[in-house]
Structure 1
Amino acid sequence: MSQESAFKDFLSNRFVRAILLSGLFLQLGIWIRNFAVLLFVMEQTNEDPFAVSLISVAEYAPIFIFSIIGGTFADRWRPKRTMVWCDILSSISVFAVLLTLVVGTWQVVFFAMLISSILSQFSQPSGMKLFKVHVPEAQLQMGMSIYQTMFALFMIIGPVIGTIIYGNFGITISIAITGVMFLLSAFALMFLPADKVVEASREKTTVIQELVQGFKYVVSNRFLTILGANFFVAGLAIGLIQPLGIFIVTQQLHMDKEFLQWFMAVNGVAMIIGGGIALAVSKKISPIRMLAAGMIINALMISIIGFSNILWLSIAAQFFCGLMMPAIQISINTMILTNAEEAFVGRVNGIMTPLFMGAMVIMMGLAGVLKQLFGLTISYQISAIFMLLGVLLVMPLVLNKPAKKQVKVDI
Structure 2
Amino acid sequence: MLRNRYVRVVMLSRILQQLGIWIRNFAILLYVTDLTHNDSRYVSLISVVEYAPILVFSFIGGTFADRWRPKLTMVWCDLLSAISVGLVLAALSQSSWYVLLAGTFVSACISQFSQPSAMKLYKNHVPGEMLQSVMALSQSLVAVFMVLGPMAGAFIFQQYGIVTSLVITGILFGGSSLVLILLPKDLEQSSSGTVSNFKEEMKAGLRYMWSNRSLRVLSWTFAVVGLAAGLTQPLALFVVTEKLGLHKEFLQWPLMANGAAMLVGGGVVMTLTNKVRPQTLLAAGLVISALTTALIGASTIIAFSMMLMVINGLFYPCIQIGIQTLIIKNTEAAYIGRVGGAITPVFSGMMVMGMFVSGYFKETTSLLTVYMTSGILLLLGTIILIPLWHNRPEVSLEAGVR
In the comparison of the two structures, how many residue pairs are matched? 396
What's the counterpart of residue 11 of structure 1?
Answer: 2
Counterparts of 1:360 and 1:200, CA distance in 2: 38
- What letter corresponds to residue 404 of structure 1 in structure 2? P
Matched, 1:123 2:114: yes
> Deviation at 1:49?
1.2
Counterparts of 1:150 and 1:34, CA distance in 2: 17
What's the counterpart of residue 82 of structure 2?
Answer: 91
Name the Cα RMSD after superposition.
1.1
Kindly indicate whether the alpha-carbon contact (under 8 Å) linking 1:102 and 1:172 is maintained by their aligned counterparts in 2.
Answer: no
What's the counterpart of residue 47 of structure 1?
Answer: 38
Q: How does 1:146-295 map to 2 (within 5 A)?
A: 146-295=137-286
Match of 1:313 among 290, 304, 328: 304
Q: What TM-score do you get using the length of structure 2 for normalisation? A: 0.97
What's the counterpart of residue 7 of structure 1?
Answer: none
Match of 2:132 among 138, 141, 154: 141
Q: How does 1:72-111 map to 2 (within 5 A)?
A: 72-111=63-102
> Deviation at 1:341?
0.1
Kindly indicate whether the alpha-carbon contact (under 8 Å) linking 1:221 and 1:406 is maintained by their aligned counterparts in 2.
Answer: no
What's the counterpart of residue 3 of structure 1?
Answer: none
What's the counterpart of residue 392 of structure 2?
Answer: 403
Partner secondary structure for residue 173 of structure 1: helix
Kindly indicate whether the alpha-carbon contact (under 8 Å) linking 2:222 and 2:343 is maintained by their aligned counterparts in 1.
Answer: yes
Counterparts of 1:211 and 1:377, CA distance in 2: 42
> Deviation at 1:403?
2.2
Kindly indicate whether the alpha-carbon contact (under 8 Å) linking 2:195 and 2:201 is maintained by their aligned counterparts in 1.
Answer: no
What's the counterpart of residue 399 of structure 2?
Answer: none
- What letter corresponds to residue 405 of structure 1 in structure 2? E
Q: Deviations over 1:101-141 (max 9, x none)?
A: 13353221112210110000000111111111111110000
- Seq. identity, %: 47
Kindly indicate whether the alpha-carbon contact (under 8 Å) linking 1:141 and 1:279 is maintained by their aligned counterparts in 2.
Answer: yes
- What letter corresponds to residue 75 of structure 1 in structure 2? D
What's the counterpart of residue 12 of structure 2?
Answer: 21
Q: Deviations over 1:42-83 (max 9, x none)?
A: 111111111111111111101111001001001011111111
Counterparts of 1:256 and 1:249, CA distance in 2: 7
Partner secondary structure for residue 161 of structure 2: helix
> Deviation at 1:205?
2.5
Match of 1:296 among 287, 303, 306: 287
Q: Deviations over 1:348-388 (max 9, x none)?
A: 00010010001000010000111112201111000000000
Kindly indicate whether the alpha-carbon contact (under 8 Å) linking 1:223 and 1:339 is maintained by their aligned counterparts in 2.
Answer: yes
Match of 1:322 among 292, 307, 313: 313
Partner secondary structure for residue 297 of structure 1: helix
Distance 1:220 1:100, change over 3 A: same
Counterparts of 2:382 and 2:142, CA distance in 1: 25
- What letter corresponds to residue 383 of structure 2 in structure 1? L
Counterparts of 1:268 and 1:259, CA distance in 2: 15
Matched, 1:372 2:354: no
Partner secondary structure for residue 11 of structure 1: coil
- What letter corresponds to residue 136 of structure 1 in structure 2? P
Counterparts of 2:262 and 2:239, CA distance in 1: 20
Counterparts of 2:5 and 2:388, CA distance in 1: 34
What's the counterpart of residue 26 of structure 2?
Answer: 35
Distance 1:189 1:96, change over 3 A: same
Kindly indicate whether the alpha-carbon contact (under 8 Å) linking 1:156 and 1:268 is maintained by their aligned counterparts in 2.
Answer: yes
- What letter corresponds to residue 66 of structure 1 in structure 2? F
Counterparts of 1:406 and 1:396, CA distance in 2: 17
- What letter corresponds to residue 324 of structure 1 in structure 2? F
> Deviation at 1:200?
2.7
Q: What TM-score do you get using the length of structure 1 for normalisation? A: 0.95
What's the counterpart of residue 350 of structure 1?
Answer: 341
Kindly indicate whether the alpha-carbon contact (under 8 Å) linking 2:329 and 2:394 is maintained by their aligned counterparts in 1.
Answer: no
- What letter corresponds to residue 354 of structure 1 in structure 2? P
Counterparts of 1:155 and 1:17, CA distance in 2: 21
Partner secondary structure for residue 396 of structure 1: helix
Counterparts of 2:43 and 2:320, CA distance in 1: 28
Partner secondary structure for residue 285 of structure 1: coil
Kindly indicate whether the alpha-carbon contact (under 8 Å) linking 2:62 and 2:341 is maintained by their aligned counterparts in 1.
Answer: yes
Distance 1:338 1:253, change over 3 A: same
Structure 1 residue ranges without an equivalent (≥5): 1-9
Matched, 1:61 2:52: yes
Counterparts of 2:145 and 2:87, CA distance in 1: 26
